Structure 1
Amino acid sequence: MTETDSSGARGGRTAEHRSPAPGDADLRRIGVHPDHWYPVALSRRVRRERVIATSFAGERIALYRGRSGAVHALEDRCAHRQVPLSMGVVDGEALRCCYHAWAYRGDGRISQIPYLAKGDRRPPRGVRGYPVREAYGLVFVFPGDPEKAEATALPDVPAFGSPDYRTMTFSRTVRCHYSFMHENLLDMNHQFLHRGVVGRLRPELLEQRTGETWVEARYLFTHTGGKRNRGASLLAGEGIGGSDSADVMTIRTRYPYQTLDLLPEGAARPAFRMWAAYVPEDAEQRVCHTYGLLTIEKPRIPAVMHLAWPFIRHFTERVFAEDRMAVEAEQRAWDEQGEDRNHEVFPLILNVREVLRANGVPLVPRTATPCAGLPDPLP
């Protein structure tokens, strides 16, 4: 793996970087690579013997939980009349279309057409079934080559389920290309945007590293004035009174996911750790769904966390709302201009753009061609 290293104002060496050349593909026309596990729903939304509709990059997906509790993911179109299977009825471990009651197994094979006799001719294939797994309170699907699913690991969220941390889950639609989200979190120079929530923060880039599939940045954060939100103080592990100590924040894009760890000064472990995935909803990938897991260190006194939880939730929602406002404005500018006219000067962001561009796939116009590799029906 290729790796470069650079440091900020603390005397380290500076990594070489380059501005995008004229022949480089516009990053906003690069789609996410499908050969990864992507969350498409909260587990609690997929109730037993119920079905819901979701999507990945314009592919409509019906998620249903069978009687056994297992979750299945199917192409959300009946092979008969193309009526959404998400309008259907769960029957044991099968899903029946609401229109003519065609039944599908969890792998997409047709298990029954009620009004046909056993020897009658049946359609040559069913619908696409997606590999599916549940973890961290989320339902993940593998939209790429199904033969690669077993060998592809789910993302690692080390603090999830730890007795030392409590998890807050986020699920929000953001009307922008997923790359804007990666850039927003990595570029902590935008703290002016959050001045009304966190006060005046001074971020100092200590170090940045990059490889073929990842980018990492370490910042030193110092609170330099202004009113600091109570939720921010609690989230940073500073207790009710707050503190002006310096915190080290480490942010990583490890394709296709993103993580953030905040280590308060003098602490042995992070006060909070965040994991996020930005899952495109539409075929042009100009709208994404953000799934986030924020794991927060529990204080010594359990009651403090209970009291602090609403403040932390309110704080994080306010910060996210401001970030969403900014990235959606970026997307609108791209839509109006028809191309990326950003004049980016921060080497870290140029590096993450290269990682996203190199690991993604070009977006191509969708055509109404049959899906390859669909399962044949059982005799």
Structure 2
Amino acid sequence: MTDPWRPRPEDGSGQLTDLRRVGIHPEHWYPVAESRRVRAGKVLAAEFAGERIAVYRTASGAVHALEDRCAHRQVPLSMGVVEGETLRCCYHAWAYRGNGHISQIPYLPKGTSRPPRGVRAYPVREKYGLVFVYPGAADKAAAAPLPDLPAYGSSTHRTMRFSRTVGCHYSFMHENLLDMNHQFLHRGVLGTIRPELLGYDDGPDFLQARYRFTAGGGRKDRGAGLLSGEGKNGRDTPDVLTIRTQYPYQTLQLVPEGATVPAFSLWAAYVPLDAEQRTSRVHGLLTIAKPRVPGTLQLAWPLIRRFTERVFAEDRGAVEAEQRAWDEQGGDWNQEVFPLILRLKEVLRSNGVPLDPAAASRRPACTQALPAEAAAPPPALG
């Protein structure tokens, strides 16, 4: 009988495709910017897997995303100027509509037609305070669902948003969150806790695991208790975490044992930036249930923020170390023994797309190094 946890080979050789050489599938909606950063009349430079994207908001408030290269001299359109509903290149003032078509060339001789080719326009949607683009075939965008986050924006919850650059392949982030056996890493923040895998569900494009967390002593960051709602019943109780990779997104919910409403929920998307997909932008929404006493969460907010920053910084240090090892060894030498992660790798592998082997040679030298922001301490959550 075939072991359901054992990944199936990708080809007849019996060898698995290295997951770190698998690209994220473009036929999904990916956040590339926070809405608050795309101000009216401004242009923002963004990236998806080596594709440079200019995101801008017109005078009417509409957001557009265009290939970040003018069709004329390939100068980035993110250096351009928004005039009303058009975007002008900063170099020769060629004007573009939101669909990528050239609407005007100021010095074009009379009787001369404009060049037939403009630039690529990406389907765009705004939701949850984020700007999403659809990098796949544009005609498939309408049928592709955005993530469903019913608690976002409700009067009973408050959301903390974060966006950070992490120097690793997106798959390391999925593995980090789903594998709760790594809590020893956070012993200085969470104290000693015992995670117990309660069960799992899986399918072709998802994997969901449930853990029970039991405190085992040790010093804990005060923000951790405030976030999980400890002490509401006069005593500490175990927490049940449900973590789900629903390709390509990931979610986590914490429900104190005996409760019916999650104390908090986390939604995260890991968006590759470079063509080799060794650098990712993490966009996260942490939605926290408000306590019964008005104003309590507002007072606790700075402590929760500090706690989440500490946990994320420790996780980032670990996954970036994993990526460095992969780079130094030229492949995946991991000896994984946790069946859940073996199954997760298969879900990510089977839903991804092959990376272009020529990606590295095409990648500009200026993107070889991780941006300075990624190596800096994480900014405050907001």
Normalised to the residue count of structure 1, the TM-score between the two structures is 0.91
CA distance, structure 2, for counterparts of residue 290 and residue 128 of structure 1: 25
Q: CA deviation at 1:348?
A: 0.5
The aligned counterpart of 1:98 is 90
Do the aligned partners of residues 75 and 352 (structure 1) sit closer, same or farther apart at CA in structure 2, a change above 3 Å counting?
same
Kindly indicate whether the alpha-carbon contact (under 8 Å) linking 2:41 and 2:56 is maintained by their aligned counterparts in 1: yes
What is the root-mean-square deviation in Å for CA atoms of aligned residues? 1.6
Residues 183-235 of structure 1: per-residue CA shift (max 9 Å, x gap)? 00000000000000010010000001110000000000001100121100000
- Superposition map of 1:154-303 within 5 A: 154-239=146-231, 243-303=235-295
Secondary structure of 1:208's aligned partner: strand
Which one of 12, 28, 36 corresponds to residue 28 of structure 2? 36
Q: CA deviation at 1:19?
A: 5.1
CA distance, structure 2, for counterparts of residue 310 and residue 241 of structure 1: 23
Residues 252-305 of structure 1: per-residue CA shift (max 9 Å, x gap)? 000000000000022120000000000000000000000000000001112211
Residues 29-63 of structure 1: per-residue CA shift (max 9 Å, x gap)? 00000000000000000000110101000000000
Secondary structure of 1:149's aligned partner: helix
Do the aligned partners of residues 223 and 120 (structure 1) sit closer, same or farther apart at CA in structure 2, a change above 3 Å counting?
same
Secondary structure of 1:283's aligned partner: coil
Q: CA deviation at 1:243?
A: 4.6
Normalised to the residue count of structure 2, the TM-score between the two structures is 0.90
Kindly indicate whether the alpha-carbon contact (under 8 Å) linking 2:7 and 2:343 is maintained by their aligned counterparts in 1: no
The aligned counterpart of 1:330 is 322
Kindly indicate whether the alpha-carbon contact (under 8 Å) linking 2:167 and 2:279 is maintained by their aligned counterparts in 1: yes
CA distance, structure 1, for counterparts of residue 224 and residue 217 of structure 2: 14
Is 1:17 aligned to residue 9 of structure 2? Answer: no
Do the aligned partners of residues 171 and 239 (structure 1) sit closer, same or farther apart at CA in structure 2, a change above 3 Å counting?
farther
Kindly indicate whether the alpha-carbon contact (under 8 Å) linking 1:230 and 1:240 is maintained by their aligned counterparts in 2: no
Which one of 300, 311, 318 corresponds to residue 310 of structure 2? 318
The aligned counterpart of 1:50 is 42
Q: Counterpart amino acid of 1:132?
A: V
Q: CA deviation at 1:124?
A: 2.4
CA distance, structure 2, for counterparts of residue 68 and residue 298 of structure 1: 35
Q: CA deviation at 1:119?
A: 2.1
Equivalent pairs counted in the alignment come to 355
The aligned counterpart of 1:80 is 72
Residues 157-193 of structure 1: per-residue CA shift (max 9 Å, x gap)? 1210111110000100000000000000000000000
Calculate percent identity across the aligned residue pairs.
70
Secondary structure of 1:302's aligned partner: coil
Q: Counterpart amino acid of 2:126?
A: E
Secondary structure of 2:216's aligned partner: strand
Residues 106-165 of structure 1: per-residue CA shift (max 9 Å, x gap)? 010000000014521322200000000000000000000000001111111121011111
CA distance, structure 1, for counterparts of residue 281 and residue 233 of structure 2: 35
Q: Counterpart amino acid of 2:6?
A: R
Is 1:149 aligned to residue 141 of structure 2? Answer: yes
The gaps in structure 1 that reach 5 residues or longer are 1-13, 369-379
Kindly indicate whether the alpha-carbon contact (under 8 Å) linking 1:222 and 1:244 is maintained by their aligned counterparts in 2: no
CA distance, structure 2, for counterparts of residue 106 and residue 118 of structure 1: 25
The aligned counterpart of 1:60 is 52
Do the aligned partners of residues 121 and 78 (structure 1) sit closer, same or farther apart at CA in structure 2, a change above 3 Å counting?
same
Per mean C-alpha deviation after superposition, the further-off stretch among 225-234 and 238-247 is 238-247
CA distance, structure 2, for counterparts of residue 243 and residue 310 of structure 1: 24
CA distance, structure 1, for counterparts of residue 182 and residue 17 of structure 2: 26
Q: CA deviation at 1:16?
A: 2.6
The aligned counterpart of 2:372 is none
Q: Counterpart amino acid of 1:67?
A: A
The gaps in structure 2 that reach 5 residues or longer are 363-382
CA distance, structure 2, for counterparts of residue 74 and residue 19 of structure 1: 39
Do the aligned partners of residues 118 and 288 (structure 1) sit closer, same or farther apart at CA in structure 2, a change above 3 Å counting?
same
CA distance, structure 2, for counterparts of residue 221 and residue 94 of structure 1: 53
Secondary structure of 1:111's aligned partner: strand
